[in-house]
Amino acid sequence: MKQEQANKSKVPFVGFWHYGVILTYLSALAGVVGIFLSATVGPFWGVVCLFVSGICDAFDGVIAGTRKNRTTADKKFGEQIDSMSDLIAFGVAPVAIGFFKGMQEWYFMIPLCLFTLCALIRLAYYNVTEEERIASGAGKRTSFEGLPVTNVAIAIPTFYVIATMFTDPLVTSLVLTFGYLLTAFLMVFRFRMPKAGPKGVLIAIGIFSVVIISLVLVRTYVCNIPLTAYENIQYTLSLQGGGC
């Protein structure tokens, strides 16, 4: 108790301030910046911020685990702030990407709201079951139940690139809608997903990068939609006449 009180009194602000939470904070900030950029510059930059959030969230636990003599309050704070950050970065920010990419009719509100709701449910359920698992004395976690929300940083960018291969705004929105609904379903569907370690995460990032680069190449050279016109489908239609 004395150690925890000493930790709280080191800085004149509430919370815990150390390098172990930096990546978690950066993930949340990237989510907020992504919402702003989606609204002001274009959803492509929201996708970039989403990927940055994914990178930060993938390694924040590893960084936090390097700290020694963590107090109980410190650990619980890390768990809570991680979930709240995930809700911003992977539950709310992706909705802004879809909305500013054309999903603005009232009926698109349904899949976007379901997406955020499923992310919220997934995060809350994980927190409860993880607390029960630790209390029961179980060992190191080897799998997840349902799709972890961090995987949104892979799923949504992939569907975004595929959707922008089409010059018809309605088709683009429908592809994105399918992506949001599928991801939302997998977040709450009961199935076992193996937990990847740091090496596995790096491999997944490498595979994802190859997939995205391949899709961009197809988009540029097969669909004839240049990267410079990534954000403006109407510009592409009027000047290039391209599209799948």
Q: What percent of the chain is modeled with pLDDT above 70?
A: 87
CA dihedral 233, 236, 239, 244 (to 10 degrees): -120
The residues spanned by each domain of the chain are: 14-239
Whether 160 shows a pLDDT value over 60: the answer reads: yes
Q: What is the pLDDT of residue 175?
A: 95
Prediction pTM value? 0.84
* pLDDT at residue 239 is higher than 50: no
Rounded Cα distance, 105 and 160, in Å:
18
Q: In angstroms, what is the C-alpha Rg of the chain?
A: 20
Helix (H, G, I), strand (E, B) or coil at 166: coil
59 vs 34, more confident: 34
CA–CA dist 217, 182 (Å, integer):
25
Q: Please enumerate in sequence order all residues whose Cβ is within 8 A of that of 159, keeping only pairs 6 or more positions apart, or say none.
A: 175, 176, 178, 179, 180
Q: At residue 176, does pLDDT exceed 90?
A: yes
Q: How far apart are CA 7 and CA 185, in angstroms?
A: 41
User: Which pLDDT does position 241 carry in this prediction?
Assistant: 47
pLDDT digits (tens, 9 = 90+) for 210-225: 988 888 888 778 877 7
Span 225-234, pLDDT tens digits: 765 444 544 3
- Strand residue runs (E) in the chain: 143-145, 192-194
Average pLDDT in the 194-209 region? Answer: 83
Rounded to an integer, the average pLDDT of 145-164 is 92
| Interacting residues of 216 by C-beta distance below 8 A, sequence separation 6+ | 161, 227
Supply the pLDDT for residue 208: 86
* CATH code matching the domain that covers 14-239, chosen among 3.90.226, 1.20.140, 1.20.120, 2.60.120: 1.20.120
Q: Which of 175, 167, 26 is nearest to 97 (CA)?
A: 175
pLDDT tens per residue, range 40-88: 999 999 999 999 999 999 888 778 777 777 777 878 888 889 999 999 9
